[in-house]
Chains A and B, each alone.
Chain A
């Protein structure tokens, strides 16, 4: 196979997006601590570099310097596989997310999306549900009751909330008629952002995102007061780091997904008028759009943190009640209402 410019570009884009994911996740840990500190009238990390900006670096070094422990009664290979799989699936969703429009250099166009598969949403769901295996394998292989309980909680929680999440998306897909994320974003350029048409769907989706990423108020999988550390109780050193880090990548990715599906992706209001007014080239507009998109993503990450430092943790039965008895019927009702409205507006083909 020869190295065509397209292939080189794809590899380059993969590396760039991977690096950006890691960087955003690393600084999300810093941001989380700083944000929590501000909400609690504290100072937060402030010693490592200006405003503590080198804190993620120090944390990484600390993680690597810690002793690597593998419990003697654990299954060694599965024990190592757990965090690796979790990290891998966390990074894999970013493949289908359109980070921006097209860059045109010379005659060739370079899309700022690694691959636009026409079943993007389906792919996303497939990969996200694989993330459970990382937690499940890690928790089970630890040969520890707390780990097992944490893993069980995490997996049943993720499976439960995936259903409501999927049904919320179905209402959206009914509107778009497409599973391709690029197409969904393009439709939001032509019309309004889908949060306007699907407010209930968005609410269900965001609640499920909190549950899917194991974030507060649904962080029962690592509920310290009951389960020590949950599924990562037995983990140490960088394997623990991977688990914690993957959580932040998940948060970044699900923020990106929410921005893509419901908040217009890289589009922003009056973008073409603005580009015409200040004479922005197509490439310039694309770059501006990417910056705006990252702004939206960071906004959602801040929302994740804001919720975490406000709400107390759910009890497990409350969590299951919310998932099965509230969100699932609501999501089905949402599909029904969407269908009815589309029928009466004559939008059905």
Chain B
């Protein structure tokens, strides 16, 4: 019994003269190819025009500053723990007197490096961060000639004071709420209770 009515009965029969000549088939094929002259190319010529990204696109990371321009990161290491690709390393240091305008809390990251070749842009670092310090942005990680150049340090990652990176698309109130309720987290350990509320909104 046929499951669908799409099946076709195949028979082996002698080819007709027109089929054996091949020429009608060739002309048919050539008409198909030539019809593509009138079709639009879907190519996006990258540096001149850019593809429009989805609002939740995860690209190059940024280390945010707070409203006064002090770095938010406290080098707690949660992002490095959360990172499945082990792309993040950091070293912490203690804030000295007089550096209050530079670092938000008493501890800060003196070295913070993300290896962009290891990073899989999953966004778990962003989710793990309790200080709203690290975000993924809609910027494409630039290519480089050496592997070393792809290890981004604080000089690249921390946003410049005068050129703040807009992360409002990713940091919506819903996302904040989601992050603060650890029951929703992807990053929970087995000891945590299973999420009772359905994920998302």
Binding site for B on A (CB under 8 A): 37-43, 46, 306-307, 309-311
CA distance A38 to B30 in the complex (A): 13
Instruction: Tell me if B42 is interfacial: C-beta within 8 Å of chain A.
Output: yes
Q: How far in angstroms is the closest Cβ of chain B from A35?
A: 9
Contacts of B43 in A (CB 8 A): 42-43
- 15 extra interface residue pairs, beta carbon distance < 8 Å, beyond A38-B37, A39-B33, A41-B40: A37-B41, A38-B36, A39-B36, A39-B37, A41-B39, A41-B42, A43-B43, A307-B30, A309-B33, A310-B26, A310-B29, A310-B30, A310-B32, A310-B33, A311-B29
Q: How far in angstroms is the closest Cβ of chain A from B50?
A: 16
CA distance A309 to B30 in the complex (A): 9
Interface size on B, residues (CB 8 A): 14
CA distance A266 to B41 in the complex (A): 37
A-facing residues in B51-95 (Cβ within 8 Å)? none
Contacts of B32 in A (CB 8 A): 310
CA distance A46 to B41 in the complex (A): 13
* Of the residues A43, A306, A307, A311, contact of B41 by C-beta under 8 Å: A43
Are the CB atoms of B29 and A42 closer together than 8 Å? Answer: no
Q: How far in angstroms is the closest Cβ of chain B from A281?
A: 38
CA distance A120 to B43 in the complex (A): 48
* Of the residues A40, A43, A46, A306, contact of B30 by C-beta under 8 Å: A306
Q: How far in angstroms is the closest Cβ of chain A from B19?
A: 14
Give B21's nearest chain A residue, CB to CB.
Answer: A326
Contacts of A310 in B (CB 8 A): 26, 29-30, 32-33
Q: How far in angstroms is the closest Cβ of chain A from B166?
A: 32
Instruction: Tell me if B45 is interfacial: C-beta within 8 Å of chain A.
Output: yes
Give B31's nearest chain A residue, CB to CB.
Answer: A310
Contacts of B42 in A (CB 8 A): 41
* Of the residues B29, B30, B41, B45, contact of A41 by C-beta under 8 Å: B41
A-facing residues in B4-37 (Cβ within 8 Å)? 26, 29-30, 32-34, 36-37
Q: How far in angstroms is the closest Cβ of chain A from B65?
A: 39
* Of the residues A37, A42, A43, A306, contact of B33 by C-beta under 8 Å: A306
Given contacts A41-B36, A41-B39, contact A46 B45 (CB under 8 A): yes
Of B26, B29, B30, B40, chain A has the most CB atoms within 10 Å of the CB of B30
Give A35's nearest chain B residue, CB to CB.
Answer: B37
Are the CB atoms of A311 and B26 closer together than 8 Å? Answer: yes
CA distance A310 to B36 in the complex (A): 11
Contacts of B39 in A (CB 8 A): 41
CA distance A314 to B42 in the complex (A): 31
Q: How far in angstroms is the closest Cβ of chain B from A334?
A: 15
Contacts of B45 in A (CB 8 A): 43, 46
Nearest first, the 8 A-B pairs at minimum CB distance are A310-B33, A43-B43, A39-B33, A310-B29, A310-B30, A39-B36, A41-B41, A41-B39
Q: How far in angstroms is the closest Cβ of chain A from B20?
A: 10
Give B28's nearest chain A residue, CB to CB.
Answer: A310
Q: How far in angstroms is the closest Cβ of chain A from B30?
A: 5
CA distance A38 to B33 in the complex (A): 9
CA distance A311 to B27 in the complex (A): 10
Q: How far in angstroms is the closest Cβ of chain B from A195?
A: 16
CA distance A335 to B45 in the complex (A): 55
Give A217's nearest chain B residue, CB to CB.
Answer: B26
Give B30's nearest chain A residue, CB to CB.
Answer: A310
Give A47's nearest chain B residue, CB to CB.
Answer: B45
Give B38's nearest chain A residue, CB to CB.
Answer: A38
Are the CB atoms of A42 and B41 closer together than 8 Å? Answer: yes
CA distance A46 to B40 in the complex (A): 16
Contacts of B33 in A (CB 8 A): 39, 306, 309-310
Contacts of A40 in B (CB 8 A): 36
Contacts of A38 in B (CB 8 A): 36-37
A-facing residues in B72-121 (Cβ within 8 Å)? none
Contacts of B26 in A (CB 8 A): 310-311
Contacts of B37 in A (CB 8 A): 38-39
Give B35's nearest chain A residue, CB to CB.
Answer: A39
CA distance A37 to B45 in the complex (A): 14
Give A322's nearest chain B residue, CB to CB.
Answer: B22
Contacts of A306 in B (CB 8 A): 30, 33-34
Contacts of B40 in A (CB 8 A): 41
Give A203's nearest chain B residue, CB to CB.
Answer: B23
Contacts of B29 in A (CB 8 A): 310-311
Contacts of A39 in B (CB 8 A): 33-34, 36-37
